Chain A
Amino acid sequence: MSARYDAIVVGGGHNGLVAAAYLARAGKRVVVLERRERVGGAAMSEQIFPGFTFSVFSYVVSLLRPEIIRDLDLPRHGLHVLPLESTLTPLPNGDYLAQWNDHDQNRRELARHSPRDAEAYDEFGRLMHLMARAVKPILGMVPPDPASLAPGDLAGMWRLGKYFRGLGPERFHTLHKLLTMSAADYLDEWFETPALKGTKSASGIIGTLLGPRSPGTAYVLLHHYMGELDGVFRAWGFAKGGNGSVSAAIAAAARAAGTEIRTEAPVAHVLVENGRATGVALANGDEVRADLVLSNADPRRTFLELVGEKHLPGEFVEGIRRFRFRGASAKVNLALGELPNFTCLPGRGAHHRGAISISPSVDYIERAYDEAKYGEFSRRPYMDIVIPSMIDPGMAPPGKHVMSIFAQYAPYELKGGWTDARREAFGDAVVDTLAEYAPNLKRAILHRQVVTPADIERIVGISEGNIFHGELSLQQMFFLRPVPEWAKFRTPVAGLWQCGSGTHPGGGVMGAPGRLAALAILGAGR
């Protein structure tokens, strides 16, 4: 088989699809090769129980870059983002802390816990908004390497330097703090209510094997503040039909631009001739040739499995080996016969339409982390819960519900390894913990699916099941992602490019790596 393409995208995750769409729109002949029977990677929806549709892995939308939504015209291709309205943190003492969308309502609720925090909240929000705006341009640029003297890097650094000088002292100092502090320490500077600090600190630890008191987590907090819908920062939403609809919309845009998408076409390895990628070999022995090969797989899989060490410089291989994954997040997907009835807010209410966060304090989350640090899963995990069927009734039969529980920590490197029994034991820990706040939960469960990092690795193919294709920690971000000197989507193999979340600016269903990789390729071709 020898159909000629300009570009092959290995892996049909959302970033691969974004890259394919941008390349196709620029006139390239592109083929996407996906191992599974469906595209989307970890952004996919599936009926794992008849009548109940789940966003099996990733489950909210917010970081998806607005320029991608515009450029690819995603709403026309079926993307409909519905608002997530609030966050409820039920507390062990029977009370709760709610964060509402409405300013007055939110202020009054916070003042119930601390009048000081109610006032600090606005100023915190204002500063984080300013910081998100300050950092946002960086997400949209190919990262310059400060150690390089190449003209492009120097120009990039000059632009960045000018930009940082323009931030003014308040923002510059805050940026320094965010880059160096732990989420817990940073929040201590602002708030006194344990539940508020716990819930906010959770944004700093999502997807990483770090606790809220680990330095550097303050930055991840900001990363989540960059969620942007309709130009509004810190707006999270839920894709109608689940996160598979995000991938489906991007795939539709890519197809409309002429991309060919093949599913059940697993790539065995990248063909390298004279240090240059010339195509890929499929598992069935077929070869597909093209001048450009883009890998949507994570850096470890791309270089150590698909390319192979023999085609790569030793130092580079070392860097890739050191790139940390350490998946720590699990999903528990529940089909429910009735809504959970929370002791703190009995009955059906607005809180069911928002996120429910099991994060009563920083201590609670740090303790959950302590267990994971030593290779155990958390007996009482941190959880971020949404009930998509409350927002999109199509997700479950009438009167029934789907519940998505993101739970941490479930470390990939579990002592003794993940087995079916350990997986279900973690599922039990999640359900038991949540049932303390909503006692009817166990009786409401019709079906349960537990997804551990080991399952994510097995099903989606992400190394160690890290939801960001590699930890979002400062030593492996920006010009260091995935390794120094190879952070601009290029690789030591000519013609081979990376376009997954293991590259700048990282994961979170942003689509930014896919877009930036495509732009870098198109720029390089000029």
Chain B
Amino acid sequence: MLKTTPFHARTGALCASHAWRRWAGYVVASSYELSHEREYHAIRSAAALLDISPLYKYAVRGKDAARFLDRVMTRDVGRSQPGQVLYTPWCDGAGKVLDDGTVTRLDGEAFRVTSAEPNLRWFLDNALGLDVAIADVSDSIAALALQGPTSRAILERLCDADLARLKYFRMTAAKLRNAPVTITRTGYTGDLGYEIWLSTADALAVWDALIEVGTSYGITPAGMLALDVARIEAGLMLLDVDYVPANKALIESQTSSPFELDLGWAVKLDKEQFVGRPALAAEAKRGPEWQFVGVQVDWGSFEALYLETGLAPRVPAAAWRTSVPLYAGGEQAGYATSGVWSPLLKAYIALAHLRSRWAAPGTALELEVTVEHRRKRAAARVVKKPFFDPERKRA
């Protein structure tokens, strides 16, 4: 049976839409209200409260914990400071991405890793001979994301930590009312926001406290549909949607390297050794075959396709997650994997894989669009990610 999260007593009661989605063996709300629209706007103008408990979480501890993580992750974990959070991919021996997630340095020898897929076996196999203990703590740690411009004010009312000084991608331990929590200034929305990690026993008390204090700040429980719009605006990729993890790929062309996912910045080739390094060093030299880019559809061209059919243009209010061909100069240049109408930017945007020769910002493309059962092509161009990047995210 599918599991419910530690917040289900609250989220279940709120879910007027009865729209649930599967996530890592749990059910979470797609949207609470009948439409996700208000929930999305809460992310950008107030504060959205998201139940992200289904994330896989691993506790990594021991004298060699940093060494182990440096062996697996492409980023330099050894050089991170206690209280720092790193976003990083990790790869198989061929330098193809297996998963991506965060590594939080809780203290000198203790880390917490989050991932989209189960990774215990991979981690254990790569920890052989090291003094490190790795435990799957997915089911014992509940997690909430509080995302949006008023998120800081809400948390400041509730906990003792100095959030004004908590920088982007940093972590602090705190007491939220009476519950011990860790708060990271991280998220999947590209906005000012925090993620709160807590014992499942405190889940309902923390949820209630946030709602109680947050209501006057516009706190709004939000589901996965709203998050999907925000993460595309933020240019953040999603495993299984935007890329196939190497250990699930059935053919080689389904795999992607970090360079092909625009994560070259997270590959620290100056590290002595890590899984996939030789292959990645070689790829860094010759340059990636593919790149992961932002694409914006040209409105005039898009609208014309509808007008010539006698219809008004229809934009995707909810994000789509299918592979859509992109063309350049008559041939297929790549494919988009996620796309949505951005209600904030008033633009039709998509995340896409393009062969490197067509990946430069400004490159003219065509996106396949189906209008009244007929396949057409709308003009589009490569744009820089993230599509939306407010100053408050880091300020």
Q: Mark A residues whose CB is within 8 Å of B.
A: 104-105, 107-108, 115-116, 118-120, 122-123, 126, 129-130
Q: How far does the alpha carbon of A119 sit from the alpha carbon of B124 in the complex, in Å? A: 11
Task: Decide yes or no whether B213 CB sits under 8 A from chain A.
Answer: no
Interface window among B115-123, B148-156, B189-197, B317-325: B115-123
B1 within 8 A of A: yes
In the complex the two chains form, is B25's CB within 8 Å of A126's CB? no
Which residue of A105, A107, A120, A129 contacts B1 across the interface (Cβ within 8 Å)? A105
Tell me which residues across on chain B come within 8 A of A126, comparing CB atoms: 247-248, 250
Q: Is the CB of A119 within 8 A of B250?
A: no
Q: Decide yes or no whether B2 CB sits under 8 A from chain A.
A: yes
Q: How far is the CB of A5 from chain B (nearest CB, A)?
A: 47
Report the bound CA distance from A118 to B247 in whole Å: 14
Interface string of B244-270 (1 = CB under 8 A from A): 000110100000000000000000000
Contact B22 A104 (CB under 8 A): yes
Whether the pair B250, A107 counts as a contact (CB closer than 8 A) is no
Given A107-B25, A120-B121, A130 and B1 contact (CB-CB distance below 8 Å) = no
The answer for the CA separation of A105 and B1 in the assembled complex, in Å, is 6
> How far is A122 from B1 in the complex, measured between Cα atoms in Å?
18
- Residues on the A chain within 8 Å of B136, using CB: 115
* A119/B122 contact (C-beta < 8 A), A107-B25, A108-B3, A108-B25 known: yes
Q: B248 and A107: CB pair below 8 A?
A: no
- A122 lies within 8 A of B25 (CB): no
Interface residue SS majority, chain B: loop
Docked pose: A122 CA to B124 CA in angstroms = 16
With A105-B2, A119-B118, A122-B247 given, name 18 new contacts (CB 8 A).
A104-B2, A104-B22, A104-B24, A105-B1, A105-B25, A108-B3, A115-B118, A115-B120, A115-B121, A115-B136, A116-B124, A119-B120, A119-B121, A119-B122, A122-B248, A123-B247, A126-B247, A129-B250
Chain B residues with Cβ below 8 Å from A108 are 3, 25
Residues in chain B near residue A116, CB distance under 8 A: 120-121, 124
The residue of chain B having its C-beta at the shortest distance from the C-beta of A105 within the complex is B1
Q: Which residues of A contact B25 (CB under 8 A)?
A: 104-105, 107-108
Closest approach, in angstroms, between the C-beta of A137 and any C-beta of chain B?
A: 16
Residue of B1, B121, B136 with highest tally of chain A CB at under 10 A? B121
**Most chain A CB within a 10 A radius of its CB, from B24, B118, B250:** B118
Interface string of B108-151 (1 = CB under 8 A from A): 00000000001111101000000000001000000000000000
Residue of A nearest to B248 (CB): A126
7 pairs across A/B with beta carbons < 8 Å? Answer: A104-B24, A105-B25, A115-B121, A116-B124, A118-B118, A122-B248, A129-B250
List the 7 shortest-distance A-B pairs measured between CB atoms, nearest first: A104-B25, A119-B121, A116-B121, A119-B118, A115-B120, A108-B25, A115-B136
Contacts of A130 in B (CB 8 A): 250
A residues less than 8 Å from B2 (CB atoms): 104-105
Q: Given the complex, which residues of B lie within 8 Å of A120, measured CB to CB?
A: 121
With a cutoff of 8 Å between Cβ atoms, the chain A residues found around residue B22 in the complex are 104
Chain B positions 72-127 with a Cβ under 8 Å from a chain A Cβ: 118-122, 124
Residues of B within 8 A of A118 (CB): 118
Q: Count of B residues near A, CB < 8 Å?
A: 16
Residues of A contacting B24 in the complex (Cβ-Cβ under 8 angstroms): 104
Closest-by-CB residue of A relative to B249 is A126
Within 8 A of A (CB), among B1-51: 1-3, 22, 24-25
Nearest A residue to B252 via CB reads A168
Q: How far is the CA of A122 from the CA of B246 in the complex (A)?
A: 12
The CA-CA distance from A130 to B247 in the complex, in Å, is 12
Chain B 340-390 residues near chain A, CB threshold 8 A: none
* Nearest CB of chain A from residue B378's CB, rounded to whole Å: 34
Cα A122 to Cα B122 with chains together (Å): 12
List, in ascending order, chain B residues with CB within 8 A of A122's CB: 247-248
A147 to B24, CA, bound (A): 52
A122 to B120, CA, bound (A): 13
The chain A residue sitting closest to B23, CB to CB, is A104
- Cα A119 to Cα B248 in complex, Å, equals 12
A126 to B248, CA, bound (A): 7
Residues from chain A with a CB closer than 8 A to the CB of B122 are 119
Bound: A339/B371 CA distance, A: 54
**Which residues of chain A are within 8 angstroms of B124 by Cβ–Cβ distance?**
116
Closest to B121 in A: A119
Complex: A107 Cα to B3 Cα, angstroms: 12
Contact residues in A for B250 (Cβ distance below 8 Å): 126, 129-130
Interchain CA distance A107-B2 in the complex, whole Å: 11
Q: How far is the CB of B15 from chain A (nearest CB, A)?
A: 19
Across the two chains, which residue of chain B brings its CB closest to A108? B25
- B120, closest chain A residue (CB): A115
Alpha-carbon gap, A501 to B24, bound state (A): 44
Q: How far is the CA of A130 from the CA of B25 in the complex (A)?
A: 25
**Which residues of chain A are within 8 angstroms of B119 by Cβ–Cβ distance?**
119
Q: What chain B residues lie within 8 Å of A105 (beta carbons)?
A: 1-2, 25
What CA separation (Å) do A119 and B119 show in the bound complex?
Answer: 7
Interfacial chain A residues near B3, Cβ < 8 Å: 108
Q: Map CB proximity to A onto B293-322 as digits: 1 under 8 Å, 0 otherwise.
A: 000000000000000000000000000000
Are A107 and B247 also in contact (CB < 8 A) when A115-B136, A116-B124 are? no
Separation of A118 and B122 alpha carbons in the complex (Å): 12
Q: How far is the CB of A353 from chain B (nearest CB, A)?
A: 16
Residues from 199 to 236 in B contacting A, C-beta threshold 8 Å: none
A275 to B249 CA separation, bound complex (whole angstroms) = 55
- Max chain B C-beta neighbours (<10 A), residue from A107, A115, A120, A129: A115
Interfacial chain A residues near B1, Cβ < 8 Å: 105
Nearest residue (CB) in B for A118 is B118
The CA-CA distance from A410 to B59 in the complex, in Å, is: 51
Kindly provide the distance from the CB of B204 to the nearest chain A CB, expressed in whole angstroms.
Answer: 23
Pairwise interchain contact A107-B118, C-beta atoms closer than 8 A: yes
Closest residue of B by beta carbon distance from A168:
B252
Expressed in whole angstroms, the minimum distance between the Cβ of A96 and any Cβ of chain B is: 15
List chain A residues, Cβ under 8 A from B120. 115-116, 119
**B-side contacts of A115, CB under 8 Å:** 118, 120-121, 136
Q: How far is the CB of B123 from chain A (nearest CB, A)?
A: 10
- Separation of A517 and B330 alpha carbons in the complex (Å): 48
Closest to B27 in A: A104
Q: How far is the CB of B195 from chain A (nearest CB, A)?
A: 23
In the complex, chain B residues whose CB is within 8 Å of the CB of A107? 25, 118
For window 144-194 of chain B, which residues contact chain A by CB distance below 8 Å? none
Tell me, in angstroms, the Cα distance from A118 to B120 when the chains sit together: 10
Closest to A123 in B: B247
Bound CA–CA A130/B254 (angstroms): 14
Task: Give Cα A118–Cα B121 distance, bound, in whole angstroms.
Answer: 9
B2 nearest CB across to chain A (Å): 6
A82→B171 CA distance, assembly (Å): 53
Smallest distance from the beta carbon of B255 to chain A beta carbons, Å? 13
CA–CA, A394 and B24, complex, Å: 38
Return B90 CB to nearest CB of chain A, in Å.
Answer: 15
Q: How far is the CB of A76 from chain B (nearest CB, A)?
A: 30
Smallest beta-carbon distance B18→chain A, Å: 20
Q: Which of B2, B3, B25, B250 has the most chain A CB atoms inside 10 A of its CB?
A: B25
A104 contact set on B, CB distance < 8 A: 2, 22, 24-25
What's the nearest-Cβ distance from chain A to residue B119, in Å? 8
A115 to B122, CA, bound (A): 11
Question: For residue B121, which residues in chain A have a CB less than 8 angstroms away from its CB?
Answer: 115-116, 119-120
Q: From residue A85, how far is it (CB to closest CB) to chain B in Å?
A: 14
A123 contacts which chain B residues (CB < 8 A)? 247
Bound-state CA distance A453–B39 (Å) is: 67
**Whole-angstrom distance from the CB of B152 to the nearest CB of chain A?**
35
Q: Which of A104, A116, A118, A129 has the most CB of B within 10 A?
A: A104
